[in-house]
Amino acid sequence: MRTAVIILGHGSRSTGSETAVRAVVAEMKKSGHAIVEHAFLQYVSPTPQEALARCIGQRAERIVIVPFFLQAGAHVTRDIPALVADARKAHPGIEIVVTDYVGNHPLMGKVVEGLVKDLV
């Protein structure tokens, strides 16, 4: 099954704020994932719908969306599930799944520890 990954960030009006999401996409492509796209919920493109269309255009049969958020706020608990429900209706032949949000991953404590260790 041809799987695509979408790293889904919040988006910001600040220039260059999407750099972190783009870096994750680049890293995933280096590690061998063939289809990896990025998208943002607000302010900048591409939109989630545009990223989905790009994945489908690359013949993805399964799309994994990774919410690049630190907390389970309204975007994670309400907006992303609604977006995914709409996408599943619009693309019934494509499997669309969502991972847990990045901030809830068990390694986040190690990430923070690494950041602090670099300064201590």
Question: Domain of 65?
Answer: 3-119
Please, are residues 112 and 81 in contact by the beta-carbon 8 Å criterion? Answer: no
Q: Please tell me the predicted confidence (pLDDT) of residue 84.
A: 97
User: What residue type is 106 in one-letter code?
Assistant: P
pLDDT in tens, 13-55: 888 888 999 999 999 999 888 899 999 999 999 999 999 999 9
Structural domain total, the chain: 1
Band of residue 120 on the pLDDT scale cut at 50, 70, 90: confident
Tell me the C-alpha distance between 111 and 104, whole Å: 12
Please, are residues 68 and 24 in contact by the beta-carbon 8 Å criterion? Answer: yes
Please, are residues 40 and 11 in contact by the beta-carbon 8 Å criterion? Answer: yes
Beta bridge partners of 5: 36, 64
Q: Please tell me the predicted confidence (pLDDT) of residue 74.
A: 94
Q: Please tell me the predicted confidence (pLDDT) of residue 17.
A: 81
Residue 76: how many other CB atoms lie within 10 Å: 21
Band of residue 71 on the pLDDT scale cut at 50, 70, 90: very high
What is the overall mean pLDDT for the chain?
Answer: 94
Tell me the C-alpha distance between 94 and 29, whole Å: 21
CATH number at 76 reads 3.40.50.1400
Q: Please tell me the predicted confidence (pLDDT) of residue 55.
A: 97
pLDDT in tens, 98-114: 999 999 999 999 999 99
Beta strands in the chain (DSSP E): 3-9, 35-40, 62-67, 95-98
pLDDT of 118 > 90? The answer is: no
